[in-house]
């Protein structure tokens, strides 16, 4: 049992940190533009595919550096030449723009790399068990993923809270006009934030690609969860996104390891439902509904705390 708890905690924290890498950019962009960037998960996918391609040519370590820069540059270009123009036509246009972009990126990736998973391997140097708890090995590559995301989280926090640029970004989020009047180029700040946000998603893609599956539908699989993280954490709140990411990571991982169902909870006291349609609901285990838990959380949060855990606005 203890073994299961330790391993599940590690897996949950790791999944949560990966979610955070993506959600951090999304939540900042969200509060900046006021709309959800549906294409955000697509940059995670671009990161994974760039990482795959570059690691084929130059090896994994250059890929870890180049792929996010490349994806970030594309992200910045999307903001500069796409979103900024669309912005004039209002939120709905922006929303539709990012929606269309997500589909376009998925199709383009499918055309270039095919729709079948690509063979993106972890570097050999990290292909060994990091440690063994009880009888379970924990792969070194997963520890590496965890380390990278923790380092980035700390760097991000320091950059936002302790540097001048961070201060200006924070100010621009809430009072863009005032920041503009003070002589700062607000548009360039937005482009920078968009670029950095998409680059962070790409980092998640590069490191998650070999461990999960790199294929052209990976963005669609992960996209919805990201919105849950952002809404649960509170729009525009980095600490909120961090807590929500870990919460959802742990929730999903632990839900998988729980066998309980209504039937086992009430045991022999339960009514005889064997022949009725209720039988299915009665016997479904928590593990089976693990994948829908985050969405359940989303619904509950929207009902009882619409501003999210650490959010400040009502929208």
Applying CB under 8 A, which residues contact other proteins? Answer: 1, 3-4, 7-8, 11-12, 15, 110, 115-117, 129, 132, 135-139, 142, 211-213, 215-218, 221, 252-253, 256-257, 259, 285, 287-288, 291
Question: Based on C-alpha coordinates, what's the Rg of the chain?
Answer: 21
**DSSP E strands: which ranges in the chain?**
129-133, 136-139
Please say whether the beta carbons of 152 and 72 come within 8 A. no
Q: Residue 69: left if φ>0, alpha if ψ -120 to 50, beta else—which one?
A: alpha
| 151 half-sphere exposure, CB direction, 13 A CA radius | 8
**Nearer Cβ to other proteins, position 157 or 286?**
286
**Nearer Cβ to other proteins, position 198 or 252?**
252
**Closest CB 203 distance from other proteins, rounded Å:** 18
Please say whether the beta carbons of 253 and 175 come within 8 A. no
**Closest CB 54 distance from other proteins, rounded Å:** 21
Contacts of 182 (CB under 8 A, 6+ apart): none
**Nearer Cβ to other proteins, position 193 or 228?**
228
**Closest CB 198 distance from other proteins, rounded Å:** 21
**Closest CB 110 distance from other proteins, rounded Å:** 7
- H helix intervals, the chain: 2-33, 40-58, 60-77, 84-87, 91-113, 140-162, 164-174, 176-181, 186-208, 218-233, 238-256, 262-266, 278-283, 293-304
**Nearer Cβ to other proteins, position 147 or 178?**
147
The kind and range of the H/E element at 228 are helix 218-233
**Closest CB 213 distance from other proteins, rounded Å:** 5
Query: How many other β-carbons are positioned within 10 Å of the β-carbon of residue 77?
Result: 14
**Nearer Cβ to other proteins, position 53 or 252?**
252
DSSP notation for 257-290: T---BHHHHHGGGS---TTSTHHHHHH-BTTTTG
**Nearer Cβ to other proteins, position 95 or 212?**
212
**Nearer Cβ to other proteins, position 185 or 259?**
259
Contacts of 217 (CB under 8 A, 6+ apart): 106, 115
């Amino acid at each position: 049992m203890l073994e299961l708890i330790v391993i599940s905690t590690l897996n949950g924290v790791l999944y949560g940190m990966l979610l955070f890498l993506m959600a951090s950019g999304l939540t900042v962009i969200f509060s900046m533009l006021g709309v959800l960037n549906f294409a955000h998960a697509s940059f995670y996918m671009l990161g994974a595919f760039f990482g795959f391609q570059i690691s084929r040519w130059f090896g994994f370590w250059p890929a870890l550096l180049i792929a996010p820069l490349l994806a970030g540059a594309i992200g910045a270009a999307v903001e500069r030449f796409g979103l900024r123009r669309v912005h004039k036509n209002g939120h709905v246009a922006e929303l539709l723009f990012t929606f269309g972009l997500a589909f376009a990126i998925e199709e383009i990736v499918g055309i270039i790399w095919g729709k079948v998973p690509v063979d993106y391997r972890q570097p050999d140097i990290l292909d060994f068990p990091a440690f063994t708890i009880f009888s379970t090995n924990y792969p070194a590559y997963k520890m590496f993923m965890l380390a990278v995301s923790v380092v980035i989280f700390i760097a991000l926090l320091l950059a936002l809270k302790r540097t001048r640029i961070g201060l200006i970004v924070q100010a621009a989020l809430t009072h863009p006009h005032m920041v503009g009047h003070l002589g700062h180029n607000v548009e360039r700040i937005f482009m920078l934030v968009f670029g950095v946000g998409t680059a962070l998603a790409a980092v998640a893609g590069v490191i998650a690609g070999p461990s999960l599956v790199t294929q052209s539908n990976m963005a669609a699989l992960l996209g919805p969860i990201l919105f849950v993280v952002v809404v649960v954490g509170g729009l525009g709140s980095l600490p909120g996104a961090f807590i929500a990411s870990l919460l959802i990571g742990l929730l999903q991982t632990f839900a998988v390891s729980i066998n309980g169902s209504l039937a086992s909870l009430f045991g022999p006291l339960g009514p005889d439902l064997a022949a009725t349609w209720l039988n299915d609901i009665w016997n479904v285990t928590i593990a089976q509904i693990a994948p829908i838990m985050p969405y359940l959380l989303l619904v509950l949060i929207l009902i009882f705390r619409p501003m999210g855990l650490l959010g400040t606005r009502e929208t």
